[in-house]
Structure 1
Amino acid sequence: MVTGIWLLALRAALGTYFTLGPTVASAAGTVTGLVAVSALDLWVPGIDFGVPALAGTAIAVFILSATWEHVVRSLIKHRVLVIGTDGDASEVMQELQRDVHAPFSIVGVVGERPPAGAAEIAGRGALDELRRVVEAQRPDIVILTDDRASAWAVEPLLDLAPMGFKVVGVSHFFEHAIGRVPLRHLTPAWFMSILHLRQKPYTRLAKRSFDLVVASLGLLLIAPLLPMLAAVVRMSRGPIIYSQIRLGEGGRHYRMYKFRTMRADAEEAGRPLFASESDPRVTRLGRLLRQTHLDEVPQLWNVVKGEMSIVGPRPERPEFVEMLEDTVPFWTRRLLVKPGITGWAQLRCGYAYDAESAAEKLSYDLWYLRHRNVVIDLAICAKTVSTLLFKPGR
């Protein structure tokens, strides 16, 4: 019975938190199983596992599960067949080729025109060759990228269903396997489907409690370093603390604080400029602060005040929002939640310096918007710490 509880908890977590990686998913499953088994121990007469036994079992379950998932994901690739337009097929191919650790491998592309880069894929063909490609490549997952392809492919795929492959839409694949929402398939109805997340008072209470605890602890732990950080910033001409108007939840203006990392005359021309990874306006010591993200420490005070969250989309300046809302569809929908110090988009891609990179960042922000909860916030915080320790400068 206890084994069954652990297995069910792990199965649910590994599916729900697949995009967060095997370590996080295994940790979530282990904690869920531990809570369930502890409740069984507490409420069912005659059962007494003991704290040492429960703790030891939980550690063993986590290590075995995480190790197994890492090995399986690295050795076993799900065979993917893409059906439909060359644009969507190219996007899927580029995404999977960019992440060499993704547990997916494209084995076939079927459509009117083969996408760029499909020459090396064994299973290629026109729509009327679908049956031949499926039988030859034996995919695990079939991705439908548009309505026309879906309508045409339904009969052949139903005939081939005994082969055991799973059929998903391109939006579903990106959202549940990659961790982002493709903008070209978004509709207003998608946003209507997530409104309930903002209307649950207990989720807002849990989020606010998490923010207050983490921000308060962070300020207490970092307090001894603040004089040293201030002295480092003061070595270049200009103020120690740099403040700027940003847009918060619902488009409300607030003043965000940072340790200054740029020259005092960074925007002397009077017009706002996008920051970049190798921005020449950044001072030498400011670059060090940016690489370690210590320049963000004053934003913990914004979190305590309720203007920001620990996890969320990065706040933007009103001037940039005005520019981007005309070129990036649904850009202002990021304002449905509080901006954050760290976030899913920050972990997955770098600075947004033009409309294309802003659209990519938005696709990750929208994934967070739909799936956010305390577990995901904890996972993003853990990944942020891991990035700071092992991949500084990201």
Structure 2
Amino acid sequence: MSYIRFRKHYLHIPYLVLGVLEFTVLFAIFSLLTLFLSLAGIDHAPVNTDIISAFLFAIVLSCGTLAMGGYLAMVHENLSSLFYRTLVAYCFVGGIGLTVLYGLLPSADPGSANLFWAVILASLVVILLRLAFLRIVDSEQVVRRVVIFGAGDFAASLLQEYERNMRALGVRVIGCIADNPSRAVPEDKVLATPYDFYQFCRQNNVSEIVVAQQERRRTEGGWLPVPELMECKLRGIAVTNGLEFYERELKKAKLDMVHPSWIVFSEGFKASKSRAFAKRMLDLTISLSLLIIMLPFIILTALAVFLETGRPILYSQSRVGMLGKEFRIYKFRSMRQDAEKDGKARWASANDDRVTRVGAFIRNTRLDELPQIYNVIKGEMSIVGPRPERPEFVSELKEKIPFYDTRHYVKPGLMGWAQLKYPYGASVEDAKGKLEYDLYYSKNHSLVMDLLIMIQTVEVILLGKGVR
């Protein structure tokens, strides 16, 4: 098994190991550099202070890597992109974090020169470590070899997702075993039906069988080798439902395969009063802190909007919140006053000519959403949750997309899992793609997952992802 489940969220062990190794390297580099400078008479600090400083240095830079998506993104990037992303994570995001930290704890500050060399040396060593990690995790000795039982649309979808994303997770899909004469996967991916499933798995080093059949298999001559699959499972080979595999590896639900029993009998989708209270306390703490920190930016943004296009500075819309209750959401106006002069709701489009120059900037930096801190304080929104949608679109989407209303059993948020993982949605198809992530969040959300989303949203803001 190459994953663990912590607070209902799947974490892949190879990347956890990499995170621990990087933290250890960062801690060691800072400690050794401090020791060297101390022995050279350049700098000196008490040993206990050095240990605390090294620990904080490693924590902040590790969070910088996580914030910039440095782990999963590296498998899709070349060396120059990996180098650039690491420098941004360490020098910019980490630099801001360390500046704030040393402002609060001056005793932990090693000095600008020492910090500079520590960050540069750490960047070079960590890049080499990641390159070595990629070679190891992609080697045949480490990858998980998976066979898919099924060759229909669901199996074809899994193969497509494998080519796009799962290779990054150390997965090798060796092919599909057809359960039905009707096939949707390419013929070169179809394997001959084995006479003995267990011996087939042993000979091909298969560690997991993923059952990805269509629901209609019984009426179309499909079959399921239950005794053979039982033997494989009892003899140490994992047998996994395709929907569970999809959720575990891709952190989203396969909407086409979701059925009511999955929601009713699954481990997730549990409402908890204690968690709701803790989340509310966290929301209030973060929103009030954000309000204080961002107050200068709020004033400057309001002034910029007013100077360019006048009043109104704020723009409000009706949105659908928890349990379908409507509320008014507030934003800094980023479009012309007559953007919807006919009163008809429209999806935002790429290069939308209704967006002003100031509006384009505050959209890219997410400054336009700062007034929603008021919605969080009021309790209509949370810091983390599915983004609230307009009632006009919700009515349409509920008719066209199954289970769309399930996202309204969780309080909407300033930032969300779908917003983090999916590009800007401006169509029914996009809404369907986002719902797959919203379903995963609704099923598995926890305070730990919320914290991870908050950290990783830094990349979305800095790189202007998902903006129109």
Fold match by TM threshold 0.5: yes
User: Which stretch has the larger CA shift, 142-151 or 201-210?
Assistant: 142-151
Checking the alignment, whether the CA contact within 8 Å between 2:196 and 2:228 is kept in structure 1 is no
1:94 partnered with 2:167: no
CA distance in 2, matches of 1:20, 1:348: 20
Q: 2:363 aligns with which of 279, 283, 290?
A: 290
Q: Provide closer, same or farther for how the CA distance between residues 261 and 20 of structure 1 changes in structure 2, counting only shifts above 3 A.
A: farther
Q: Secondary structure at the match of 2:245?
A: helix
1:156 partnered with 2:223: no
Return the letter of the residue paired with 1:115: A
Checking the alignment, whether the CA contact within 8 Å between 2:201 and 2:207 is kept in structure 1 is no
Q: 1:333 aligns with which of 397, 403, 406?
A: 406
Q: 2:174 aligns with which of 107, 114, 124?
A: 107
CA distance in 1, matches of 2:380, 2:267: 21
CA distance in 2, matches of 1:133, 1:90: 22
Return the letter of the residue paired with 1:265: D
Counterpart for residue 275 of structure 1: 348
Task: Report the CA distance between 1:139 and its aligned residue.
Answer: 2.2
Residue-by-residue CA offset, 1:287-311 (whole Å, 9 max, x unaligned): 2222211111111111011000010
Checking the alignment, whether the CA contact within 8 Å between 2:198 and 2:231 is kept in structure 1 is no
What is the percentage of aligned positions where both structures have the same residue? 31
Counterpart for residue 379 of structure 1: 452
1:80 partnered with 2:152: no
Counterpart for residue 361 of structure 1: 434
TM normalised by structure 1 equals 0.78
Which has the higher Rg, Structure 1 or Structure 2? Answer: 2
Return the letter of the residue paired with 2:398: E
Mapping of 1:178-193 within 5 angstroms?
178-193=250-265
Q: Secondary structure at the match of 1:326?
A: helix
Return the letter of the residue paired with 1:373: S
Q: 2:318 aligns with which of 196, 220, 245?
A: 245
User: Which stretch has the larger CA shift, 127-136 or 241-250?
Assistant: 127-136
1:214 partnered with 2:279: no
Counterpart for residue 40 of structure 1: none
Gaps of 5+ in 2: 24-47, 63-70, 72-125
Q: Provide closer, same or farther for how the CA distance between residues 162 and 255 of structure 1 changes in structure 2, counting only shifts above 3 A.
A: closer
1:22 partnered with 2:23: no
Return the letter of the residue paired with 2:11: F
Task: Report the CA distance between 1:320 and its aligned residue.
Answer: 0.5
Gaps of 5+ in 1: 1-9, 31-49
Counterpart for residue 34 of structure 1: none
Relative contact order, CA 8 A, sep 6+: which one is greater? 2
CA distance in 2, matches of 1:257, 1:74: 47
Counterpart for residue 110 of structure 2: none
Q: Provide closer, same or farther for how the CA distance between residues 54 and 165 of structure 1 changes in structure 2, counting only shifts above 3 A.
A: farther
CA distance in 1, matches of 2:426, 2:196: 42
Counterpart for residue 87 of structure 2: none
Residue-by-residue CA offset, 1:355-385 (whole Å, 9 max, x unaligned): 2221111111011111111110000000001
Task: Report the CA distance between 1:247 and its aligned residue.
Answer: 0.8
CA distance in 1, matches of 2:298, 2:148: 53
How many residues are paired up?
359
CA distance in 1, matches of 2:278, 2:241: 33
CA distance in 2, matches of 1:295, 1:20: 38
CA distance in 1, matches of 2:163, 2:305: 41
